[in-house]
Amino acid sequence: RPPPELAPSPATVVTVKNGSYTWHGFQRFLGARRGSRISGMAELKKYFNRFGYLGFQDGNVTDVFDTRLESAVAAYQAKLGLPVTGRLDSETLSQMMSPRCGMRDAMQPMHAAMH
Amino acid sequence: YVYFPGKPRWARPIPMTLTYAFSPENLVGYLSLEDIRGAFKLAFARWASVIPVSFSETDTYSFADIKIGFYRGDHGDGEPFDGVLGVLAHAFSPESGKFHLDAAETWAVDLESEKSTVAIDLESVATHEIGHLLGLAHSPVKESVMYPSLKPRAKKADLKLDDIEAVQALYGSNPNFKFASSMESDISSNQ
């Protein structure tokens, strides 16, 4: 009978395709600025809404890079210590695609509802 | 550093002790409870070393001040998790005590032995979320623990001056606290 293996068992290797990262698709917005229209930009607006930078006034979220989105991008850059350009430059997009805490950056605190 | 609106904090006499517990039904199978407890113990100790607040683990989950659990997707608090990477965890402002981690992540207590390219350091995230539980919001200082993002396989658990000043303004200083140069952060690197 072979002796018991003394070496540690190999560590589990998990690989995830880049495309399955939650916000990986934002890469296609590189260079976008006010006036740009790119399919899927509504998702970007939802990101800014989720983290407290952009309110949805009428629920109609379009794929147009409008002035409100520009303000949201600038606020995000200022809040995260990035150069404030109002544009979706590579540094900003890289930061946006990074995994992060779910707490809003510009926000009301998350309160637990008392039932 | 930044606080939540209204600057909420745990309103108890100083020094205070906060209890914490792990949800027995909401853990991750690939990490032992001992490993999880070890990572959190280190994270709580970092904050306890700078403020007159101590943290004590309790088995009585329902009565703990801080309730910790790993959850998937929509878990009932209006802040659903989103799978691998994206949002890693969230915690609530004082005095809620809710601390939720995304069970879909590959949580690691030792990045040298965990080879996954998407491994997330549990101690780093725990340290960040405890900051929220104590009343700190996200900081724009990149080196600080309270900066909102963390790359896979990165470790950022050492409190920086920005974190320390923020929490000491809420709770006062631990009488045994001594400042070390390693706690300084270079805010010029933000640009």
Of B82, B86, B93, the CB nearest to A109: B93
Contacts of A79 in chain B (CB under 8 A): 138, 140
Q: What is the mean pLDDT of residues B103-123?
A: 96
Residue-level pLDDT at B187:
56
Among the residues of B97-176, which ranges form H helices? Answer: 122-134, 161-171
Please answer yes or no on whether B88 and A99 come within 8 Å at the CB atom.
yes
Question: Is the pLDDT confidence value at A114 over 80?
Answer: no
pLDDT digits (tens, 9 = 90+) for A36-68: 999 999 999 999 999 999 988 767 789 999 999
Q: Which residue of A has its CA nearest to B7?
A: A109
Phi, psi of A95 (to 5 degrees): -65, -40
SS (H, E, C) A42-106: HHHHHHHHHCCCCCCCCCCCCCECCHHHHHHHHHHHHHCCCCCCCCCCHHHHHHHHCCEECCCCC
How does residue A97 score in pLDDT terms, banded at 50, 70 and 90?
very high
Contacts of A105 in chain B (CB under 8 A): 137-138, 148
Q: Which residue of A has its CA nearest to B96?
A: A112
Residue-level pLDDT at A57:
72
Q: In chain A, which residues touch B (CB < 8 A)?
A: 8, 11-16, 20-23, 78-83, 95, 98-103, 105, 107-112
* Best mutation target, B138, B142, B143, B160, to test chain A (most A CBs within 10 A): B138
Of A21, A102, A112, the CB nearest to B96: A112
Residue-level pLDDT at B183:
80
Q: How many C-beta neighbours within 10 Å does residue B21 have?
A: 20
B70/A contact by beta carbon, under 8 A = no
B9/A contact by beta carbon, under 8 A = no
pLDDT digits (tens, 9 = 90+) for B81-108: 999 999 999 999 999 999 999 999 999 9
* Residue A5 distance to chain B (closest CA, Å): 18
Q: Which residue of B has its CA nearest to A80?
A: B140
* Residue A96 distance to chain B (closest CA, Å): 9
Contacts of A13 in chain B (CB under 8 A): 115-116
Residue-level pLDDT at A16:
45
* Residue A114 distance to chain B (closest CA, Å): 10
Please answer yes or no on whether A16 and B129 come within 8 Å at the CB atom.
no
- B/e letters for A33-50, b = 16+ CB within 10 Å, e = fewer, are eeebebeebeebbebbee
How does residue A111 score in pLDDT terms, banded at 50, 70 and 90?
very low
How does residue B186 score in pLDDT terms, banded at 50, 70 and 90?
low
Residue-level pLDDT at A2:
46
What percentage of residues in chain A have a pLDDT greater than 90? 63
Residue-level pLDDT at A21:
74
Q: Where are the beta strands (DSSP E) in chain B?
A: 16-22, 53-57, 66-71, 87-91, 98-102, 106-108, 119-121
Phi, psi of B108 (to 5 degrees): -125, 140
Please answer yes or no on whether A100 and B149 come within 8 Å at the CB atom.
yes
As annotated, the active-site residues of B are 129
Question: Is the pLDDT confidence value at A4 over 50?
Answer: no
Enter the ipTM.
0.94
**How far is it, in rounded angstroms, from Cα A94 to Cα B163?**
24
